[in-house]
Amino acid sequence: MATLVVAEHNNTSLSEATSKTVSAAKALGTDIDILVAGQGASAASEAAAQIDGVRAVITVEHDLLARQMPEAMEATIMALMDGYDTVMAADTTTHKAYMPRVAAKLDTQQISSVTGIDGDVFERPIYAGNALAYVKSTGGKKVVTVRTTAFPLSGDGGSAASESKSVEIGDTGSTFVSEELTKSDRPELTGAKIVISGGRGMGSGENFALIDTIADKLGAAVGASRAAVDAGYVPNDYQVGQTGKAVAPQLYIAVGISGAIQHLAGMKDSKVIAAINKDEEAPIFQVADYGLVADLFKALPELDAELAKIGY
Amino acid sequence: MKVLVPVKRVLDYNVKARVKPDQTGVDLSNVKMSMNPFDEIAVEEAVRMQEAGTATETIAVSVGPAKAQETIRTALAMGMDRGVHITTDEDLEPLAVAKILKAVAEAEGAELVLMGKQAIDNDYGATGGMFAALMDWPIGQYANTLAPGEGTIEVKREIDGGLQTVTLKLPAVVTTDLRLNEPRYASLPNIMKAKRKPIEAKTPEDLGVDTTPRLTIVKVTEPKTREAGVIVETVAELVDKLKNEAGVI
Ligand SMILES: Cc1cc2nc3c(=O)[nH]c(=O)nc-3n(C[C@H](O)[C@H](O)[C@H](O)COP(=O)(O)OP(=O)(O)OC[C@H]3O[C@@H](n4cnc5c(N)ncnc54)[C@H](O)[C@@H]3O)c2cc1C
């Protein structure tokens, strides 16, 4: 019995999502190996070996794995699955893109975006988080993606064995062309301690500067509602919600966001929620710990000034 | 090229799901049901490809109860050519749906399957990837923009870090994301016309597909609701509470 955790990394660095996935895997009580599938990924593999609770780090390198394309990931994992009864990965777009492929090849049902594990029972939100389903496998291998915000870091100080394996990958029918990555010095949205998000109420992309200033003061990540992304105010990777990213920071500040169920699905597990909205009837106030009924164009500069007063 | 679009009938996105008191699932009696919004985007894209001359035939397929026929009619009213309805009263897992879609895609000789990235009811986000693997086809998940070429399709994908472009050899699967297009509303004349478009009905047994579930649902519960908070009067008060009461800044 062993679990294969697939690392979230970009070859040069390992994302915290990997350690959180390991901590989810620990709940299964089996040996845990990490797969680092990449190209020139030794730095990521070394970092993975430090995670507490890991038996071995298996590195597979291939041109087609440089960006972990779904078809190549499927081939890689299928080549290793004889030794494992569970494969687990974070529910980021990288892993969500190929894990169903692995599940289909194993003739099993993927258990997606798990938020809790108790024995053999997996908890997962459905219907935009308005219901929680508890499911268990009827047999066969398990393919699990986890919502990393629901699991703590696994800790470090591990000393996993390292192994390299090579895998044959045939013609995948898919070619990488280009990438436009959003550049930011701010913390990653799903791992940030504070997130400040803007919605349609921001009115324009330029107005997001009001949010950026506060984010920089607080060391926060910046998010957005779907409406703000659709309107082109901010890039798609800012979207928080049922069909965007799930976040659960210590503090979530929603500005000019009404609080549609699809948005709430991605942030209602935050420890503290603050909302600024000019409409006192906005549903966001029903989940906010602190609500401020105000025009954001007045409130955000004031917030900036008040933060300065306490040393930010 | 022949384009297949799977469409699912789901609880309307504007309706809040209510868990049944016996904790067996979500109550779907007497609530508004609609086409899964991501599937609507896929239908719109297929119709646009047909209008642009890149799609030669567009087929909507739904796996679901008798009423799923309405969902197929919606796709036909938006402009798709014809429908295939695989009737079942079971709430099938994505794996079973993917197997059914494989049988349909093979029978139809589909070259491109456009589908939603996730269904907003069970939120598995798995059917597209599973179907692609069963076909051994490449997949472009979370499409933001599509550019069909000669025997290929270029997909600009919405990923966690931004955007990524890949070229897929056809036949291929593409899953839609929110920014791909804005689906049209069907006009009244098109709704009337759709009533005469053909829908072929079959069962999973007709297709020889085993739909045995791989998971058991132990229970379905309501999530914890958050305690109602307080309304603060000023920004200064907000900052004070965040710092001294909540201790989060
Ligand atoms: C399939 C599907 C998936 C979806 N997925 C997501 C998702 O993942 N994430 C998501 O966020 N949404 C998602 N949505 C969209 C969701 O239903 C809402 O439409 C969206 O969240 C609304 O965004 P918003 O709150 O910014 O805009 P609105 O609902 O328009 O709210 C704007 C708010 O700003 C306030 N406002 C305006 N001006 C000011 C001002 N000057 N000062 C203060 N307040 C002001 C208004 O009072 C209002 O409450 C999805 C929808 C569908 C159908």
Q: Would you mind telling me the total number of residues written for chain A in this entry?
A: 312
pLDDT in tens, B129-143: 999 999 999 999 999
Contacts of A139 in chain B (CB under 8 A): 214
Residue B230, domain member (yes or no) = no
Residue B140, domain member (yes or no) = yes
C-alpha pair distances (Å), A59 with each of A44, A62, A126, A167: 9, 10, 34, 10
Tell me the residue type at A124: R
pLDDT in tens, B166-193: 999 999 999 999 999 999 999 999 999 9
d(CA A31, CA A29): 7
* CATH number of the domain residue B108 falls in: 3.40.50.620
CATH code that applies to domain A189-309: 3.40.50.1220
Domain extent, residue B199, equals 2-222
Contacts of B162 in chain A (CB under 8 A): 179-182, 235-237
Residue B191, Cβ neighbours under 10 Å: how many? Answer: 15
Distance from first CA to last CA of chain A, Å, rounded?
50
Q: What is the pLDDT along chain A (312 residues), one digit of tens a residue?
A: 899 999 999 999 999 999 999 999 999 999 999 999 999 999 999 999 999 999 999 999 999 999 999 999 999 999 999 999 999 999 999 999 999 999 999 999 999 999 999 999 999 999 999 999 999 999 999 999 999 999 999 999 999 999 999 999 999 999 999 999 999 999 999 999 999 999 999 999 999 999 999 999 999 999 999 999 999 999 999 999 999 999 999 999 999 999 999 999 999 999 999 999 999 999 999 999 999 999 999 999 999 999 999 999
Contacts of B155 in chain A (CB under 8 A): none
Residue B243, domain member (yes or no) = no
**Chain A interface test: which of B97, B215, B233, B240 (most A C-beta within 10 Å):** B215
A200 is in an annotated binding site: yes
The superfamily CATH assigns to domain A2-165 is: HUPs (3.40.50.620)
Q: Do B163 and A236 touch (CB under 8 A)?
A: yes
Domains A2-165 and A189-309 fall in the same CATH topology = yes
Kindly state the tokens that stand for B135: 């076909």
CA A285 to ligand 1 centroid distance, Å: 13
Residues 6+ apart with CB under 8 A from B249: A194, A218, A251, A307, A310, A312, B239, B242, B243
Report yes or no: A62 and A32 within 8 Å, Cβ to Cβ. Answer: no
A243 is in an annotated binding site: yes
Residue B186, domain member (yes or no) = yes
Q: Residue B36 CA: which ligand 1 atom is closest?
A: 1
Which residues on neighbouring strands pair with residue A221, listed in sequence order? Answer: A195
Residue B233, domain member (yes or no) = no
Task: Provide the ipTM.
Answer: 0.97
Closest partner CB to B16 (pick from A130, A181, A312): A130
Candidates A77, A101, A108, A90; CA nearest to A246 is A90
Kindly state the tokens that stand for A196: 């400040």
DSSP A54-68: -SEEEEEE-GGGTTT
Name the burial class of residue A129, with classes exposed (0-12), middle (13-18) and buried (19+) by CB atoms within 10 angstroms of its CB: buried
Candidates A252, A119, A243; CA nearest to A197 is A252
Domain count, chain B: 1
**Token pair 């609880």: residue:** B11
Residue B154, domain member (yes or no) = yes
CA B236 to ligand 1 centroid distance, Å: 26
Rg (CA), chain B: 21
d(CA A174, CA A152): 35
pLDDT band at B227 (very low <50, low <70, confident <90, very high): confident
The sign of the torsion formed by the CA atoms of B58, B62, B68, B69 equals: positive
CA B220 to ligand 1 centroid distance, Å: 28
Residue B126, domain member (yes or no) = yes
Residue B200, domain member (yes or no) = yes
Q: Would you mind telling me the total number of residues written for chain B in this entry?
A: 249
Q: Do A181 and B248 touch (CB under 8 A)?
A: no
Judge whether residue B228 has pLDDT over 80.
no
Which residues on neighbouring strands pair with residue B220, listed in sequence order? Answer: A133
Give the chain B residue nearest A273 (alpha carbons). B229
Domain residue ranges in chain A:
2-165, 189-309
